[in-house]
Amino acid sequence: MIAAFFRVGMLGFGGGPSSIPLVHQEAVKKYKWMSEEEFADTLAIANTMPGPIATKMGGYIGYRVCGVVGCIGALLATVAPTALIMIFLLQLLQEFKDIPWVQHMSMSVVPVVAVMLATMTWDFVKKSGETLGWTKGIIIIFSSLILMELLNIHPAILILVLIIFVILPIRNRRSKG
């Protein structure tokens, strides 16, 4: 497990958004520690909490797989490489920032992260269409987009509201049954 999160820490340069697909690859696809749905739920909940997303997800997944020791190991494996690489690379970038090819290299990271996020987003859209149905999935996606972008509603509020709407019918069914 430490190796998985070490890879995330080493390759997740660029912040949380760039590490989410890497965590997904390790936790869901490679080691199968959780399903797509569990990963999506973990990501949604982790996004509502303050702090870096990679450490929150690493800590939770580590705890889930190996308890407290797994949590600590995953956190250290996620944070230490990133911190060391960041210090080293930022020092190099600072020293050579005026060289044109270094400027172009720095700007080239943005489209790569955008493609990684777009790929993961499309996977979640397909999954929501399959599980909720395409009509409900598209309604929720566009409603969320409008609420977040036009009305400036925080994503955590939307996630909380959706969780409540999911939990209420389950409780009503249990009390009736």
Q: Quick one: pLDDT at residue 64?
A: 95
- If we measure between CA atoms, which residue out of 4, 3, 1, 10 comes closest to residue 79? 10
Quickly count: other Cβ atoms within 10 Å of residue 98's Cβ.
Answer: 7
The DSSP H or E segment spanning 12 is none
Report CA-CA distances (Å) from 24 to 57, 98, 136, 149, 153.
Answer: 10, 36, 25, 26, 27
**Axis-axis angle for helices 100-132, 36-48 (nearest 10):** 120
Residue 154, amino acid: H
Q: What is the pLDDT along the chain (177 residues), one digit of tens a residue?
A: 889 999 888 787 666 778 899 999 999 999 999 999 999 999 988 888 888 888 899 999 999 999 999 999 999 998 888 788 778 888 988 898 888 888 888 788 888 888 988 998 898 889 888 888 899 889 988 999 999 999 999 988 998 888 888 777 665 555 555
d(CA 94, CA 169): 55
d(CA 90, CA 87): 5
Q: Quick one: pLDDT at residue 153?
A: 93
Q: Does the model's pTM come out above 0.85?
A: no
